[in-house]
Chain A
Amino acid sequence: MHARCGRHRRPRRARALLALTVLASTLAACGGDDDGSRPTLNWYNFPDDSGALQEAADRCSRESGGRYRIEYNKLPRAADGQRQQMVRRLAAEDDSLDILGLDVTWAAEFAEARWIKEWTGENKRRATEGTLDVPLQTATWKGKLYAVPYNTNIQLLWYRRDLVPKPPTTWAEMLDMSRDLARQGKPHYVEIQGAQYEGLTVWFNSLVNSAGGSILNPSATEPSLGPPAVRAASIMRDLARSPAADPSLPNQMEDQNRLAMESGVAAFEINYPFVYPSMRSNNPTLFKDFRWAVYPRVDAGRPSRPTIGGIDLAVSAYSRHPDLAFDAALCLRDRENQLGAALKGGLPPTLRSLYDEPEFMKEYPFSKEVLASLESASVRPLTPAYQNVSIAVSHTLSPPSGIRPDSDVSTIREQIDKALRSEGVIP
């Protein structure tokens, strides 16, 4: 693979003929990596099928004026696989990674392990200028900036206008509406992520924050939880035990939710904006009445705080060209490339000004709601032990119908406590 070419850069004269031949072919495969004046920067990011990321890499290579060439390397599709590949190579101090596309939950872990470089000075100014505040929080650890937000993502409430003329504003209201629809024999499910995985943690996190609490304390030294967490767990259980629950709730992830909504059995769906273009092409009839609103509130008087997702770009601590890598990362997420990723790949941008861009607003009719949600959004617990925290939550609260709010929250507290002391065993 190209990524590993760096190791065989300079053949020595004394090498045997066979070795030289092999090396020569390796060099040829590397496409002149580093031997000229134009270093290659390896960008590792999630696999993108829309072509937007490759285009951004090409554009930035062109516009660098011959200073560098960006090679876009696709990571595995699943988040765990992406993290494992990067972690394994960074732990071995692999210098062939330069720019890393980190999930928003990994920055703290990579920073604490000293695998990524801090952003300072002019680079930091350019990274933060005009960038939405909540995505920046995901890239910050112990008051220092370790990555630059690339794209973000947030869930909205999607509903069918033919069934509910006015969207619910709170969870209680939504469950009431669902019960009414069930009594009338109409589609009434609330489609939400109830399987035992990251999505369940996101649901819990959104509810805890919407109820005015948080999973960890601000300095990430111990769990906070408390009454808002009990409240959140109760809402999850109530939904799971009401007619609003899809029978396959305990196995549902984002995509099963999308399919259920498209098949017409549901009235509501909590999901990311990718469901919109999908509904348009898969069920044009329902699409006419497919509407959206901000994430439901826990209390009528307090705005909801849905959890953000997305990707942050970081520079590897073992990069051979860190200065160029900072520059390239800033280029990859500049206005034009973010617009391209939003229009082609459907990824919500992290630059505030793009939400006023007419081209974007046309493709994203819900851009106003997305922006409003992003401004009040919450982040998942920022801690190097996030993997353990997430697993503690999703394992304890699965299946949602079996939740016992008080005892489950204290179980989560115990497990997070252990994880922060490196004593947590993960299943």
Chain B
Amino acid sequence: MSTMAEPAKDEAQDTKALSAGARQERRLGWLLCAPAVIVMLAVTAYPICYAVYLSLQRYDLRFPDRAEFTGLSNYGAVLTSPFWWDAFWVTLFLTVVSVAIELVLGMGLALVMHRTLFARGTVRTAVLIPYGIVTVVAAFSWQYAWTPELGYLAGLLPSGEAPLTEQWPALWLIILAEVWKTTPFMALLLLAGLALVPEETLRAAMVDGATPWQRFTKVMLPLMKPAILVALLFRTLDAFRIFDNIYVLTAGAHGTGSLSILGYDNLFTALNLGIGSAISVLIFLCVGIIAFTFVKLFGAAAPGAEVKR
């Protein structure tokens, strides 16, 4: 845009960049995008704005007569509440641990899928099965499996143990369910990254006497970095909003509630739309910060930058 302001100086380049044809193409591009943009505005921007609007009010379905504009006081109430911070740390813990485990396991699975010489299709399909199962269904089967006197997994524990009713065992079981469910997704994204590593580079490294571990850490990982970052970004954003596994396994009891569970409880149990919307907006901001941080990291490692070196 700044180029438009100074037509004299860069005229030669500008006319080239914005020739009539190019301008028309750009218009067409916008026209083609427009339906999607309008739909996105209707289904995303409107609810987000409405949530922000609600979060600035005392809007409690139980006290409809006392609805009023209260500014940022809902945010103050949420951020000073120990329940918000408990849920925040639980969410952060679940996110970091589950994504870290998924990355390691996913890399392993991706290497297996990449290197498999026979029945490649079968191996890939088998690995993807957990990802194909509806999360709620999988969560219920985990829940039954860990219920004393009912589940086959609970039967392996000493009698009287009910792991889902204690904070730490329950948190690890939630992580287990998450990892089981989403590692295939991670593996799939990493597999795409593995395809970026040229076979001849690896051979050259082998000729130079690099050990398999050195080939993995010095050749494959740097070349896969963009794919790894994309996979991490997707999974971190997903994991931070974790809801369904927790809802089914513990319903957030015994100190296992994530931020999404906190928001749900305040909206649907407490019917406090003001506080609940403030929580939703804060979750949205957290997700925004995570995405921003990753994009900054990701930008630094863009493929183009690597090539220039």
Contacts and interface: CB of A to CB of B under 8 A. Distances in A.
Main secondary structure of the interface of B (DSSP, over half): helix
A422 B274 contact: yes
B253 interface: yes
A173 B64 CA distance: 48
Interface stretch (A38-46, A84-92, A334-342): A84-92
Interface stretch (A117-125, A262-270, A322-330, A380-388): A380-388
B165 A423 contact: no
Interface residues of A, number: 24
A112 interface: yes
A84 B265 CA distance: 10
Given A384-B63, A427-B86, A427-B87, A422 B58 contact: yes
A407 interface: no
B147 to A, nearest CB: 14
Nearest to B65: A112
A385 B253 CA distance: 20
Q: Which of A84, A251, A424 has most B Cβ within 10 Å?
A: A424
A84 B269 contact: yes
B210 interface: no
Contact of A112 (B62, B83, B165, B274): B62
B60 interface: yes
B86 A422 contact: no
A112 B262 contact: no
Contacts of A88: 268
A203 B86 CA distance: 26
Given A251-B162, A425-B83, A84 B62 contact: no
Q: Which of A112, A113, A424, A425 has most B Cβ within 10 Å?
A: A425
B61 A113 contact: yes
A88 B269 CA distance: 10
How many B residues are at the interface, by size bracket? 20 to 34
Contacts of B270: 387-388, 424, 426
A427 B262 CA distance: 6
Nearest to B66: A422
A112 B66 CA distance: 11
A426 B262 CA distance: 7
Contacts of A423: 73-74, 77, 275
Interface in A406-420: 418
Nearest to A112: B62
A265 to B, nearest CB: 13
B64 A84 contact: no
Contacts of A385: 62
Q: Which of B162, B262, B275 has most A Cβ within 10 Å?
A: B275
Given A251-B162, A388-B270, A422-B272, A427 B62 contact: no
A373 interface: no
A122 B252 CA distance: 46
A80 interface: yes
B266 interface: yes
A196 interface: yes
B146 to A, nearest CB: 15
B145 interface: no
Interface in B256-283: 257, 262, 265-266, 268-272, 274-275, 279
Query: Which 8 A-B pairs give the minimum distances between C-beta atoms?
Result: A384-B62, A425-B81, A422-B60, A427-B83, A423-B77, A426-B270, A422-B58, A425-B83
23 contacts: A80-B269, A84-B268, A87-B61, A87-B268, A87-B271, A88-B268, A112-B62, A113-B61, A113-B62, A196-B254, A387-B269, A387-B270, A388-B270, A422-B60, A422-B66, A422-B275, A423-B77, A424-B77, A425-B77, A425-B262, A425-B275, A427-B83, A427-B262
Given A384-B63, A387-B270, A422-B62, 14 more contacts: A80-B269, A84-B268, A87-B61, A112-B63, A196-B253, A251-B165, A421-B58, A422-B63, A422-B274, A424-B77, A424-B270, A425-B81, A425-B275, A427-B262
